[in-house]
């Protein structure tokens, strides 16, 4: 129970009437990227997503043999494609699933995935910020801000080549 108190951020009311299948369905439906009620795209941080998992997992029974899911793999699957790709590039290794025989071990494995996700998320945010600064600096030195991407086929020696070259052209407008 100490592990739940260590991470749990939801209300004190745990809905024990929810059956395992319903809780599992809710857990597996969570996504880092989602749309709000107005249809606007939203992105949770890995920690925000993890807190949603903790709230729902509090309703799961202690006996993990009744669970149709592994919390850490469900969490990893819910991450955005760019974040899970970054984790793979950083040589992330999923905890050994066969060892996750208790609820506390399931939660601990989920914390391992969350820690790697949070680190990679920060790296991706920093990269995006640097790219935005570079683009703003480039656009500041120009008078316009229209970017065009053109795809052209380059002729190659050999039969039926489909090599494609991508060109970025900046059109200056005022």
**Contact predicate 11/51, CB 8 Å:** no
Mean pLDDT per segment of 10 residues, for the chain of length 174 residues? 53 62 94 93 95 94 92 97 95 94 96 97 93 86 49 44 45 46
How far is CA 101 from its chain centroid? 25
pLDDT at 75: 97
Q: Hey, how many other C-beta atoms are within 10 angstroms of the C-beta on 5? A: 7
Residue-level pLDDT at 136: 86
Amino acid 140: pLDDT: 77
**Residue-level pLDDT at 86:** 96
């Amino acid at each position: 129970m100490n592990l739940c108190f260590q991470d749990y951020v939801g209300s004190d009311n745990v809905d024990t009437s929810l059956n395992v299948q319903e809780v599992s369905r809710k857990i597996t439906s969570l996504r880092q990227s989602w749309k709000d009620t107005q249809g606007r795209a939203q992105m949770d941080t890995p920690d925000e997503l993890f807190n949603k998992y903790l709230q729902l997992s509090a309703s799961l029974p202690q006996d993990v043999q009744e669970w149709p899911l592994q919390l850490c793999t469900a969490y990893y699957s819910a991450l955005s494609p760019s974040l899970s790709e970054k984790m793979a590039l950083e040589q992330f290794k999923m905890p050994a699933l066969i060892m996750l025989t208790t609820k506390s071990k399931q939660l601990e494995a989920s914390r391992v995935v969350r820690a790697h996700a949070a680190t990679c998320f920060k790296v991706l945010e920093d990269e995006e910020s640097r790219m935005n600064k570079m683009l703003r600096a480039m656009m500041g030195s120009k008078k316009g801000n229209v970017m065009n991407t053109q795809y052209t086929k380059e002729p190659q020696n050999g039969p039926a080549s489909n090599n494609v070259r991508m060109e970025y052209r900046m059109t200056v407008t005022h």
